[in-house]
Chains A and B, each alone.
Chain A
Amino acid sequence: MSSGKKTVPFQGTKEQEEQLQKVIAAHKGEKGALMPVLQQAQEIYGYLPVEVQRMISEGMQIPMSKICGVVTFYSFYSLYPKGKYKISVCLGTACYVKGSNQVYEKLQQVLGIGGGECTPDGKFSLEACRCVGACGLAPVMMINDDVHGRLSPDSVEEILAKYE
């Protein structure tokens, strides 16, 4: 599971592990429970590193190979930690025809990272997403839960400056 992506070592806490074990216990034996467990595990840790996958594997008696297969199949699951501020640029069709790819390029340039990466200080992570459904504001990006709409490449730096 090595890759050239910029990331940080796993720093899970005891409390997080306890929370995860509770989730596993609640779903054990339920049909098709793996995805709900992975979703909640990601909420607890922010991402799904191999250490977390191993805990789920042991707790639910599901082979690592299957868990890893599911985690890597879905784009919603992340193997890498996200930044304090998670930036998702919409590359859905409505945003694309209004120039969201230029916004995405500009962000990569300004932050010095590629898509799916996190700045070394852990502040910003960047990714592309498909349609947040705010097509009326296209092109849009989300920073955590805030939607920023009607963007241009020029407006990017000003918006980033608001996030300390």
Chain B
Amino acid sequence: MIKTIEGLRSISSQKKASVGFRHPGSKERDSYERHVLVCAGTGCTSSGSVKIADRLEEDIAAKGLKDKVCVIRTGCHGLCALGPVMIIYPEASFYSNVSIDHIDEIVDEHLAKGNVVTKYLYQETVTEQGVIPMNDTDFYRKQHRVALQNCGVIDPENVDEYIATGGYEALHKVLTTMSREDVVGVLERSGLRGRGGAGFPTGTKWKFAMGSTGQKYVCCNADEGDPGAFMDRSVLEGDPHVVFEAMAIAGYVIGSDQGYIYVRAEYPIAIHRLEIALKQAREYGLLGKDIFGTGFDFDIDLRLGAGAFVCGEETALMTSIEGNRGEPRPRPPFPAVKGLFDKPTILNNVETWANIPRIIMNGADWFASMGTEKSKGTKVFALGGKIQNVGLVEIPMGTTLREIVEEIGGGVPNGKKFKAAQTGGPSGGCIPASDFDVEIDYDNLVAIGSMMGSGGLIVMDEDDCMVDIAKFFLEFTVDESCGKCTPCRVGNKRLLEILEKITEGKATMEDLDKLEKLANLIKKTSLCALGQTAPNPVLSTLKHFRDEYVAHIQDKKCPAGKCKALLNYAIDPEKCIGCGLCAKNCPADAISGEKKKPHTIDTSKCVKCGSCIEKCKKDAIYKK
């Protein structure tokens, strides 16, 4: 049980050197000569990092290095595309695409003898001048980790390591030296806005819930449903205690003794780590009764989501925690007045929570010194799609899309041309290349027809059809609409039908007008954020890529060559050598021709599956 700041600091001091050791150029020294940090986030686990960590431990033991080297399984380092990744300190050697076959050599050379195995390093760190620190590579240089500061550094299954980074000191500071108003004042001055999408000022939200007395609740939205976004998951997997600490601070401010974390059931690793972390926090008395001997009680329970996108909407989330169909409720009353179980409730998303203890410790001015005028601090983005460095990045607000895509992201692979970046998932919009230099913050993104959303950023290249992408998102929202209000339930379905007509080449220009009108109507009249934002992908692609819509309608062509109904496959007689491979693989028997002579495709039989293109070794088949 930890009841005093001395108790907290005695744990901290035992581990401080060990955790401090894990930074490039650190002066700290640990009882172990070397630390091997293996990423055990979902991305790297999927590419086999658990086996690698197990194998490392076996090898280290077998080679008698157990007293010199320790293996730590951490959260996400961000560079998921090159997983599994691991970092060895004190050299801060960043190994990427690690395979089981590399382990033997890395243990023999690096861990036993201190010779870095350069050929297995992340090649961006290997220069003519020698090996450079990972923080000097394009991917990391412009990043600034606040919410993710512990991810990839500490062992998330060991609360002592969190405490060694200064963990739970913010809670102690708040409980022993600050009034509730002081805390809200700090948050307001810091300019922190909700990272879940809408960007509502966090301090203001808390203030609303302070007024009344009686039972209140604190909720954490960890139902990260936006496909392609995994920021919140990474925080939960890599630094779970920061969320507990922040929620307890909120509990003190609004006068609540119970918190709920609503986390997606699809995140088994995050749930597992949360469960371990909860147990450890309770054992230390950092959650539970009489925290730090101040008389303040606060505990947290987990609730698992069950795969409904709408439950990311705050009122739907609360309805779901209550054990019902996750349907949203009209606002007002806002949750701060009448929320979970009809009691005043505040709800913030994971990334927002992760910023709070750091703001309390470093001060409002520190936080407000980062970012733009109206959007302070940093934002975590999940980069995905057609981009070299798929992964997780945290950058100061105000960074441009060009910096994110070209510098940090390493550009579009395979020499293709950048077409658009999609932010905000099914609720957001597309940013075209012409807006490449807009500084990314809440207000600028809205001004160019997109939104921050929770932070998914998917890059698309010239092969992606923007009408098809709009249709893809709408299929998602139609599928996920809860059905409570008519504009969303019926309107979005009609919207989707018009888009289907367009991609099939059956639409008229009149349909385009209808599409736009209906989209605006749904935006204005839907009950919750899901419906109100569902037409955004349509409206933003219409705004920036109207010519593509027109090409589908008037010329019956899909310029990107994606929409099947508008494509025909053909064989270039100049290139075809008549090998017959395409005809053999055609499931519809649509290809014919004599051996060693150019073949032809019967378009009436062709099902446009594309298997002939894949099989042709001469690139003789094309779409027109």
For residue A130, give the distance in angstroms from its CB to the closest CB of chain B: 5
| Contact of B306 with A69 in the complex, beta carbons under 8 Å | no
Instruction: Tell me which residues across on chain A come within 8 A of B225, comparing CB atoms.
Output: 130
Whether B472 lies near A135 (C-beta < 8 A) is no
Max count, chain A CB within 10 A of own CB: residue among B225, B228, B307, B464:
B228
Interface segment, one of A2-10, A11-19, A27-35, A79-87: A27-35
Contact B43 A137 (CB under 8 A): yes
Partner of B230 from A97, A133, A137 at Cβ < 8 Å:
A133
* Cα–Cα, bound, A143→B45 (Å): 15
Let me know if A70 is at the binding interface, CB within 8 A: yes
Give chain B residues whose Cβ lies under 8 Å from the Cβ of A133: 42-43, 230, 233, 266-267
Residues of B within 8 A of A66 (CB): 324
* Assembly CA distance A135 to B229 (angstroms): 9
B295 at the interface (CB under 8 A from A): no
Q: Give the residue name and chain of the B residue nearest to A74 (CB).
A: B306
Closest chain B residue, CB of each to CB of A34: B323
Q: Type the 1/0 row for B33-72, where 1 means its CB is closer than 8 Å to any CB of A.
A: 0000000001101110000000000000000000000000
In chain B between 310 and 325, which residues have their CB closer than 8 angstroms to a CB of chain A? 320-325
Q: Restricting to A114-164, which residues have a CB under 8 Å from any CB of B?
A: 129-138, 140, 147, 149, 152-154
B370 neighbours in A (Cβ, 8 Å): none
Report B-chain residues with C-beta under 8 Å of the C-beta of A94.
Answer: 227-228, 384-385, 390, 458
Given contacts A94-B384, A135-B43, contact A130 B306 (CB under 8 A): no
How many pairs of A and B residues are in contact by the CB < 8 Å rule?
136
For residue B476, CB closer than 8 A to chain A, the reply is yes
The reply to whether A32 and B46 form a contact with Cβ atoms under 8 Å apart is no
In the assembled complex, B391 has its CB within 8 A of some CB on chain A = yes
Would you call B304 an interface residue if the criterion is a C-beta within 8 Å of the partner chain's C-beta atoms? yes
Q: Is the CB of A35 within 8 A of B304?
A: yes
Q: Quick one: given A69-B325, A97-B385, A136-B43, are A77 and B306 in contact (CB under 8 Å)?
A: yes
Interface residues on A, range: 35 or more
A57 interfacial by beta-carbon distance below 8 Å: no
Q: Which residue of B lies closest to A128 (CB)?
A: B479
Residues of B84-132 at the interface with A, using a CB-CB cut-off of 8 Å, are: none
Q: Judge if A36 is at the interface, Cβ distance under 8 Å.
A: yes
A contact residues around B82 at 8 Å (CB): 136
| Residues B422 and A135 in contact, CB atoms below 8 Å apart | no
Which residues 462-484 of B sit at the A interface, judged by CB distance below 8 A? 464, 469, 472-473, 476, 482
B614 near A154: Cβ-Cβ < 8 Å: yes
Q: Measured between alpha carbons, how far is A105 from B609 in the docked complex, in Å?
A: 10
Tell me the chain B residues, 443-474 only, with Cβ under 8 Å from chain A. 456, 458, 460, 464, 469, 472-473
On whether the beta carbons of A130 and B309 are closer than 8 Å, the reply is: yes
Assess whether A75 is interfacial by the CB under 8 Å rule.
Answer: yes
Interface residues of B in 163-178 (CB under 8 A from A): none
Q: Does B303 have its Cβ within 8 Å of any Cβ on chain A?
A: yes
Partner of A137, one of B47, B227, B266, B610: B47
Closest to B479 in A: A75
Interface of B is mostly: mixed
Whether, in the assembled complex, A49 has its beta carbon less than 8 Å from a beta carbon of chain B, the answer is no
Q: Which residues of A contact B581 (CB under 8 A)?
A: none
Partner of B610 from the list A75, A102, A129 (CB cut-off 8 Å) is A102
Q: How far is the CB of A48 from chain B (nearest CB, A)?
A: 11
Residues in A14-56 with C-beta less than 8 Å from chain B? 31-36, 38-39
Q: Is B246 an interface residue (CB 8 A)?
A: no
Chain A: which residue is nearest B610 at the CB level? A102
CA–CA, A73 to B310, complex, Å? Answer: 11
CA of A3 to CA of B226 in the docked complex: distance in angstroms? 30
- B385, B472, B609 interface centre (most CB from chain A within 10 Å): B385
**Given A76-B265, A93-B425, A136-B80 contact (CB < 8 Å):** yes
Would B384 and A138 count as touching, CB distance under 8 A?
yes
Complex contacts, A97 vs chain B, CB 8 Å: 385-386, 458, 460, 464, 469
Query: In whole Å, how far is B114's beta carbon from the nearest beta carbon of chain A?
Result: 31
Q: A129-B266, A134-B42, A147-B46 are in contact. Are A35 and B323 (CB under 8 A)?
A: yes
Partner of B43, one of A74, A105, A134: A134
Closest to A69 in B: B325
Nearest CB of chain B from residue A82's CB, rounded to whole Å: 14
Contact B306–A35 (Cβ < 8 Å): yes
Q: Is B326 an interface residue (CB 8 A)?
A: yes
B464: chain A residues within 8 A (beta carbon): 97
In the assembled complex, the CB of A109 is this many whole angstroms from the nearest CB of chain B, namely 8
CB of B84, distance to nearest CB on chain A (Å) = 10
A133 CA to B83 CA in the complex, in Å? 13
Distance in angstroms between the alpha carbons of A140 and B83 in the assembled complex: 14
Q: Which residues of B contact A92 (CB under 8 A)?
A: 227-228
Q: Which residues on A are within 8 Å of B, measured CB to CB?
A: 31-36, 38-39, 66, 69-70, 73-77, 91-94, 96-98, 102, 105, 129-138, 140, 147, 149, 152-154
Q: List 28 A-B contacts (CB under 8 A).
A: A31-B322, A31-B323, A35-B303, A35-B304, A35-B320, A36-B304, A66-B324, A69-B325, A74-B305, A75-B307, A93-B422, A93-B472, A94-B385, A130-B307, A130-B309, A131-B226, A131-B230, A132-B42, A133-B42, A134-B46, A134-B80, A135-B230, A136-B80, A136-B391, A137-B47, A138-B384, A138-B385, A147-B47
Q: Which 6 A-B pairs have the closest CB atoms?
A: A136-B80, A92-B227, A94-B384, A74-B306, A76-B307, A147-B46
